[in-house]
Amino acid sequence: MPAAATVPTGDGGDSRTYFAWTVGIALIYSAVHISARLLASPNLGEDDPLTNILIQEWAAGYSVWYPPMFEWMAWCVEQIAGPSLLGFQLLKYGLLIGTIGAIYWAAFYVTGHALWSLITAEALTLIYHIGWRFHEGFTGIIPAMFFSALALCFNLRILRGSQVLDFCWLGLALGCGLLSTHNFAIGIAAFFLAALLVPSARAAFYRWPLILTVVIAGVVVSPYYVWIVSDAGRLGQLSAVTSVFTHSNPHINPAKALRKTLGIPFAFFWSLLISLLLGSLHRVRDHFRQRILPVVDWHAHPLLAFLGLYAVIAYVLLFAAAFGLSYVRYASHDLLAFMVPVLVLLFGAIFLVEPTEREMHRWGRICLAIIVFAFVARAANMFVQDPVCKICRWGVPYDQLAQHLASNGAVPKKIIVFEQELGGNLRLKFPASLVELTSVQQFKPDVRFKSDQGAVALVWQVDGRNGLYDPEYVLSGRLNKVGLADSVQEFRAPWEHLFKQRGYRHTVWRYLVVQARARSFQMEALGASN
């Protein structure tokens, strides 16, 4: 950390002490949520099952639709902890703690006030997407949020007076951010343009070490983009990705894109703004027109000017994509990386109103109450389930299915599934087995079973669907063809509930386990019949 990090602040403490408090609070917050999640269910979260399947092997890329940073991180964690829910939880909350720590330093560089920097960092958990949805979803976007916070830190360090090493760290953060989500490029463009428009920022930022930033970022992203261009099929998929940005969708009304884009700030910050008003910081509203806009000399606050321009430019770029190209396929949480600098901007502007220490403490208590309420509501989702939740991923009895499969024969060397939730969770139960995710329509038993050694299990959920994508409809004829239809078995797993009778709800799976000898016999019979 810079030398300024040890300078005493006006609140009677030094920034390192408050940074320790910030990280400590984030650790407690994370430990409580991790413990509750592990107690509630051994099942993976909303986005983790697919990642758990992909990281069975390391690859330079997994999809042209999304970069591989989270998968790389999860693969590294798995080498230490093995396939486990705990590994995913530690990775996710580790990134959250890192994000909170980086926001603390960014806020301190802007305000120089350690207590207010702590408040700014912890306010991240009051945003709906973090305080509620983060705990089960948003897996792929979490690294982007972390690297956005790091990039903001190093940007502000450079603008305050930097060393060459800061440019190197910035390049690393930007490269890793691009490996987290494609739209991180919008944030990078906003950073560079904002620095260009603020005179003091331009003088500090546009110097020869910036070449190091660009080179390092390019080196970091190169494995993934080399992986894409090295295969003609991936290049074709990439054209489909870019068409989302370059062609208007006739089924999407530009007015809808406009409404969605205009509503993004409110979608992110409504809960935070309500808590600010409840905390008697309504003076922000009263003083905003009278003091912040016309009176404050933005030349005296170049870092806030830089952040303000960043927010405007990023929003304009998003607006151009949404309104001009009818690009509304993004969800609001896809923009979490953009909102980290905006959070620092918001609290930096509030600090200009000079909130009293009493107001800070009152708002801190309100924040704590909101955090506790959100945790209780989440606990109801996890532990009570019905009728609080509908899908209730925590309650699906994958454990019972795994025990049933293991008790009915040898552990399969390969498990074939059609749903990522089923495959990802079964991999936790059978870490030595290869889990293969495929589509129902592409499944051909004579190909999938023929080339493997050891037992192969085909497992699918019976969900009552009808039509071309229903496994029951597709598999009946194909398994009949290789003489395996009569070997299909069914397992009906009862759900458990805190106060409802066991079995109030069931999940039904069907499965087929083909041993090596039986498969060899079937394939010989198939060849003879042909």
Q: What is the identity of the amino acid at 381?
A: N
- Six token digits for residue 303: 């870092």
Q: What is the pLDDT of residue 180?
A: 92
State the Cα–Cα distance between residues 518 and 530, nearest whole angstrom: 18
Burial 479-498 (b: 16+ CB within 10 A, else e): beebebeeebeebebebebe
| List of long-range contacts for 150-156, beta carbons under 8 Å, 24+ apart | 150/98, 150/102, 151/177, 151/187, 151/188, 151/191, 152/102, 152/103, 152/106, 152/340, 152/341, 152/344, 153/102, 153/105, 153/106, 153/109, 155/191, 155/195, 155/205, 155/306, 156/106, 156/109, 156/110, 156/303
> Which residue is it, tokens 């700014």?
120
Residue closest to 470 by CA, chosen among 418, 404, 400, 410 = 418
Q: What is the pLDDT of residue 7?
A: 39
Residue closest to 392 by CA, chosen among 498, 310, 298 = 498
3-state class of 473 per DSSP? helix
Q: pTM, whole model, 2 decimals? A: 0.86
For the chain, residues with pLDDT lower than 70 are 1-13, 238-299, 321-334, 388, 409-410, 446-453, 464-470, 473, 516-530
With residue 458 as reference, give the H or E element that holds it. strand 456-462
341 CB-near residues (< 8 Å, 6+ apart):
106, 148, 152, 187, 307, 310, 311
- Give me the half-sphere count of Cα atoms (radius 13 Å) on the Cβ side of residue 483: 12
8 Å CB contact between 344 and 152: yes
Neighbours of 464 (CB within 10 A): 8
Q: What is the pLDDT of residue 85?
A: 92
8 Å CB contact between 147 and 177: yes
Q: What is the pLDDT of residue 123?
A: 86
8 Å CB contact between 115 and 158: no
Phi, psi of 462 (to 5 degrees): -90, 110
8 Å CB contact between 244 and 313: no
Residue 459's DSSP bridge partners are 511
